[in-house]
């Protein structure tokens, strides 16, 4: 598996960085786009063909989904790169209505994407946390890839996800979440933890609860899970990048980086 960071700016796009969007190229040739915030579709056009991507959502806050209606336009109407098959759309249970309203022509309408997507709802353990692997995790398939979810702590229906490629590599993405023991559990032994670190050091004590992680909390989860590599993401344009990095390093002694646009990460290498 290979991941290209299309955008990683937290909460909104910045002048040189789209909001959240991560392109996964799997060993069986499938493309999986994880989140599609503002600016991500433009960057996807630079890196790959938007007409042939599956879509996975951590949650449906605007900074993670607002380019989706335009992706649907591309897959339906592009003269040479329209979708030639239905792709999988895996996300929260509210996705069909939430995204359908964002794409509708009239207030009372809900656009039906079933012409281009199979809409599948995440299934996650309701109890736990349990260290991965465990029968409590539901397996979702996209091609040869296996995807698993655990509950995140965030104001809307949100998931942590683990993606396992047929080549044996594994990636865990936190989406947006406050600290939760489910994160280290689902990330157990993963090659890469792509983890939000919205807050750095200068935010200490001023953070709203039940929303996001700090760099320190990302580092704690990475250490507890024993992941091979930690990539910090979702730092807002006004964020404390260096503080988040220092915080993560206080707890995790493996390799830590801050995500930047166009960065390529290869889990397992
Ligand atoms: Zn966000
Ligand atoms: Zn969010």
Residue 27 has pLDDT above 90, yes or no: yes
Exposure on the CB side of residue 7, measured as CA atoms within 13 A: 34
Q: pLDDT tens digit string along 45-104?
A: 999 999 999 999 999 999 999 999 999 999 999 999 999 999 999 999 999 999 999 999
Question: What is 2-264's CATH superfamily?
Answer: Ribonuclease Z/Hydroxyacylglutathione hydrolase-like (3.60.15.10)
Position 138 scores a pLDDT of 98
Q: Which ligand is nearest to the CA of 20?
A: 1
Could you give the 3-state DSSP secondary structure of residue 130? coil
> 10 Å Cβ neighbour count for 144?
14
**What is the CA(79)–ligand 1 centre distance, in A?**
33
Q: pLDDT tens digit string along 133-174?
A: 999 999 999 999 999 999 999 999 999 999 999 999 999 999
**What is the CA(226)–ligand 2 centre distance, in A?**
26
Instruction: For the chain, give the percent of residues with pLDDT over 90.
Output: 96
Q: Which of 95, 94, 99 is nearest to 111 (CA)?
A: 99
Q: Which ligand is nearest to the CA of 158?
A: 2
**What is the CA(124)–ligand 1 centre distance, in A?**
20
Q: Which of 78, 79, 88 is nearest to 24 (CA)?
A: 88
The two tokens of residue 199 are: 């807050």
Position 177 scores a pLDDT of 98
Residue 234 has pLDDT above 90, yes or no: yes
Where are the chain's structural domains? Answer: 2-264
Q: In the β-sheet with 87-91, what is the strand arrangement from edge to edge?
A: 117-121, 87-91, 54-56, 31-34, 21-25, 2-7, 264-265
The four Cα atoms 122, 123, 126, 131 give a dihedral, to 10 degrees, of -100
């Amino acid at each position: 598996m290979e991941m290209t960071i299309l955008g990683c700016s937290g909460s909104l796009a910045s002048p040189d960085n789209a909001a959240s969007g991560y392109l996964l190229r799997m060993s069986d040739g499938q493309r999986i786009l994880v989140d599609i915030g503002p600016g991500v579709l433009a960057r996807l056009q630079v890196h790959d063909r938007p007409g042939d991507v599956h879509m996975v959502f951590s949650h449906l806050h605007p900074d993670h989904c607002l380019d989706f209606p335009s992706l649907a336009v591309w897959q339906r109407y592009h003269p040479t790169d329209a979708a030639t098959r239905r792709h999988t759309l895996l996300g929260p249970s509210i996705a069909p209505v939430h995204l359908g309203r964002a794409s509708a022509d009239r207030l009372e309408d809900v656009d039906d994407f079933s012409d281009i997507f199979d809409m599948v709802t995440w299934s996650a353990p309701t109890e736990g946390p349990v260290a991965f692997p465990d029968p409590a995790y539901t397996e979702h398939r996209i091609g040869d890839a296996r995807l698993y979810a655990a509950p995140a702590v965030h104001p809307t229906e949100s998931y942590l996800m683990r993606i396992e490629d047929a080549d044996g590599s594994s990636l865990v993405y936190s989406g947006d979440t406050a600290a939760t023991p489910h994160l280290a559990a689902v990330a157990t032994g993963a090659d890469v933890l792509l983890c939000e670190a919205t807050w750095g050091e200068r935010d200490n004590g001023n953070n709203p609860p039940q929303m996001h992680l700090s760099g320190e909390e990302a580092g704690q989860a990475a250490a507890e899970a024993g992941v091979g590599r930690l990539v910090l993401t979702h730092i807002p344009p006004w964020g404390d990048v260096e503080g988040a990095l220092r915080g993560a390093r206080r707890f995790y002694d493996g390799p830590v980086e801050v995500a930047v646009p166009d960065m390529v990460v290869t889990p397992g290498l």
